């Protein structure tokens, strides 16, 4: 019924067109119009992704909702789109988050509203493009294009040290992607002139070439994830970004890295992926354990959540590189769950920051006395971050640990320490901020959530609980795609000797 309808193009271009319209409203005199159009665009952008879920065939192998059109014929580059279960979940997450971000920035942003809203809409469209692209160059173009709006978002509406953070963010990511470009061109030449990912999946490559390409991809995706030791841009970017920027950064942009591993590295370079899996797993475990400890000592709320993000993303890369269905499914679910949870936590910090204008944990205490509703929601998200059963955070971590046990007990053991550290830093932070005596006069005069904030956090709370209690709707779209991917990733592609 919907097969011929370009739903994926809509998912990409509706937010972008909406962004252009928002920009056209111009100066801050029309701020109200800009906000309304942005909201309409974001909601519409979310609505057009819903038929993707309802029309998705969970049993089918390969990619669905394919679209194909020639784009740059000289280089045989095509506008080739298609999704599997993994991309589907990330597209939904992205479009959903965009709505929340627009609402979250409703009152907080008073300066250059149209540009702010438009930047998020562009970002949303570009990221959907990354998740849909089946042409390597199209993937690359969207992947890179996300940098521009994010750079502007951090640099214009960020905190005091925003310029440093924005430039660091941009250059770090560009470093990885330029090498990726070289690798892609190399693949293009080897494959006799094709940029199609589907062709690359079948392309035999010698191990040495695979390893070099893997490393080029790895730098790009590891910076995005971010993995230890190239994670240092993230705390800076998060701390300085406005709330909406932090939410999108944590909820979606970090997933571009994980998604890149799944879509490019594993199926195109299975032998190199196996060969270097130990290395990636080691880095992941360092992220999980060491960054978990780093999070423990943070005195800045946003920094703490940023480090917790890195630690959680360590789970994702761990799950991906242990090459079994549990691990990989766990990794994807962890990505989605982390999208909800970290987004929610950054929104919670935003709620506090808008009122007190401080991110220091020491400036808070006893918030529960003045903001009981907020405290309850915050509690839920903190628990989800710590991986409490019944929340979304548990499902992914549990699956990854289960997968890790199959691969190697000690992997699982190291990974499982996060259940302790995660609980420790999250709950300790929660205790210091929320409980205890009212710390100072500013906390004493706090007002609880307004309806807009309640709506945003309420929606996220529902998502976190739904995913924790009944993960099936999320998991079932993944089964076939993950098995497909594993069969690609475990089949050697070395050319016959």
Q: Which residues bind other proteins (CB under 8 A)?
A: 26-27, 70-75, 112, 115, 137, 140-141, 144-145, 147-148, 151-152, 155-156, 162-163, 166-167, 170-171, 174-175, 178-179, 181-182, 185-186, 188-189
Nearest distance from residue 157's CB to other proteins, in Å?
10
Nearest distance from residue 144's CB to other proteins, in Å?
5
**Which lies closer to other proteins via its Cβ, residue 145 or residue 322?**
145
Task: For helices 31-47 and 85-104, give the axis angle rounded to 10 degrees.
Answer: 160
**Which lies closer to other proteins via its Cβ, residue 118 or residue 197?**
118
Nearest distance from residue 122's CB to other proteins, in Å?
10
**Which lies closer to other proteins via its Cβ, residue 3 or residue 189?**
189
CB 106, CB 36: distance < 8 Å: no
CB 133, CB 81: distance < 8 Å: yes
Nearest distance from residue 6's CB to other proteins, in Å?
17
What does each C-alpha distance from 214 to 193, 210, 362 come to in angstroms?
20, 6, 44
> How many angstroms separate the CA atoms of 305 and 311, rounded?
10
**Which lies closer to other proteins via its Cβ, residue 115 or residue 311?**
115
DSSP-based three-state secondary structure for 188: helix
**Which lies closer to other proteins via its Cβ, residue 75 or residue 413?**
75
Which helix or strand (DSSP H or E) is residue 71 part of?
Answer: strand 64-72
**And the tokens for 248?**
């999108």
Nearest distance from residue 137's CB to other proteins, in Å?
8
**Which lies closer to other proteins via its Cβ, residue 130 or residue 384?**
130
> How many angstroms separate the CA atoms of 90 and 75, rounded?
29
DSSP-based three-state secondary structure for 42: helix
**Which lies closer to other proteins via its Cβ, residue 216 or residue 404?**
216
Q: How many residues does the chain have?
A: 497
CB 342, CB 329: distance < 8 Å: no
Task: For helices 113-132 and 136-145, give the axis angle rounded to 10 degrees.
Answer: 160
Nearest distance from residue 81's CB to other proteins, in Å?
16
Nearest distance from residue 201's CB to other proteins, in Å?
21
What does each C-alpha distance from 40 to 103, 113, 234, 267 come to in angstroms?
11, 15, 31, 38
Nearest distance from residue 494's CB to other proteins, in Å?
21
CB 458, CB 374: distance < 8 Å: no
**Which lies closer to other proteins via its Cβ, residue 236 or residue 453?**
236
Residue tagged 């770090």 (tokens): 172
> How many angstroms separate the CA atoms of 472 and 466, rounded?
10
Q: 408: closest CA among 313, 488, 324, 289?
A: 324
Nearest distance from residue 145's CB to other proteins, in Å?
5
Nearest distance from residue 52's CB to other proteins, in Å?
24
**Which lies closer to other proteins via its Cβ, residue 26 or residue 473?**
26
What does each C-alpha distance from 216 to 219, 256, 315, 448 come to in angstroms?
5, 15, 22, 48
**Which lies closer to other proteins via its Cβ, residue 67 or residue 329?**
67
Phi, psi (degrees; rounded to nearest 5) at 145: -60, -25
């Amino acid at each position: 019924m919907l097969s011929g309808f370009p739903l994926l193009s809509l998912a990409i271009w509706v937010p972008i067109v909406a962004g252009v319209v928002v920009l056209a409203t111009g100066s801050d005199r029309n701020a109200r119009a800009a906000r309304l159009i942005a909201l309409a665009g974001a909601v519409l952008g979310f609505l057009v992704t819903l038929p993707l879920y309802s029309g998705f065939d969970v049993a089918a192998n390969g990619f669905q909702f394919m679209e194909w059109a020639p784009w740059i014929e000289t280089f045989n580059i095509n506008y080739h789109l298609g999704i599997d279960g993994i991309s589907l979940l990330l597209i939904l997450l992205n479009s959903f988050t965009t709505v929340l971000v627009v609402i979250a920035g409703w009152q907080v942003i008073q300066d250059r509203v149209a540009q702010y809203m438009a930047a998020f809409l562009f970002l949303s469209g570009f990221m959907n493009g990354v998740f849909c692209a089946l042409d390597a160059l199209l993937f690359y173009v969207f992947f890179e294009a996300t940098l521009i709006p994010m750079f502007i978002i951090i640099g214009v509406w960020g905190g005091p040290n925003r310029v440093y953070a924005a430039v660091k963010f941009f250059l770090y990511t560009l470093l990885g992607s330029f090498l990726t470009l070289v690798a892609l061109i190399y693949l293009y030449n080897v494959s006799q002139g094709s940029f199609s990912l589907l062709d690359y999946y079948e392309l035999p490559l010698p191990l040495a070439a695979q390893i070099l390409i893997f490393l080029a991809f790895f730098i790009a995706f590891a910076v995005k994830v971010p993995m230890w030791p190239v994670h240092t841009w993230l705390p800076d970017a998060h701390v300085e970004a406005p709330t909406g920027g932090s939410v999108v950064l944590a909820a979606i942009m970090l997933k571009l890295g994980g998604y890149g591993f799944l879509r490019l590295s594993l199926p195109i370079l299975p032998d190199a992926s196996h060969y270097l899996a130990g290395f990636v797993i080691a880095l992941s475990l360092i992220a999980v354990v060491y960054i978990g400890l780093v999070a423990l000592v943070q005195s800045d709320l946003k920094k703490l959540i940023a480090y917790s993000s890195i630690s959680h993303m360590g789970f994702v890369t761990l799950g991906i590189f242990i090459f079994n269905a549990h691990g990989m499914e766990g990794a994807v679910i962890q990505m989605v769950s982390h999208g909800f949870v970290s987004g929610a936590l950054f929104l919670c910090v935003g709620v506090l920051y808008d009122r007190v204008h401080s991110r220091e944990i020491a400036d808070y205490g006893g918030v529960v006395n003045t903001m009981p509703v907020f405290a309850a929601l915050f509690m839920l998200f903190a628990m989800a971050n710590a991986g409490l059963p019944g929340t979304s955070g548990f499902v992914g971590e549990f699956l990854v640990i289960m997968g890790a046990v199959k691969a190697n007990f000690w992997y699982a053991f190291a990974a499982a320490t996060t259940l302790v550290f995660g609980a420790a830093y999250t709950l300790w932070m929660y205790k210091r901020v929320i409980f205890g005596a009212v710390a100072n006069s500013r906390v004493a005069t706090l007002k609880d959530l307004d309806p807009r904030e309640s709506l945003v956090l309420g929606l996220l709370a529902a998502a976190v609980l739904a995913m924790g209690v009944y993960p099936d709707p999320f998991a079932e779209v993944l089964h076939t795609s993950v098995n497909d991917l594993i069969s690609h990733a475990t089949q050697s592609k070395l050319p016959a000797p």
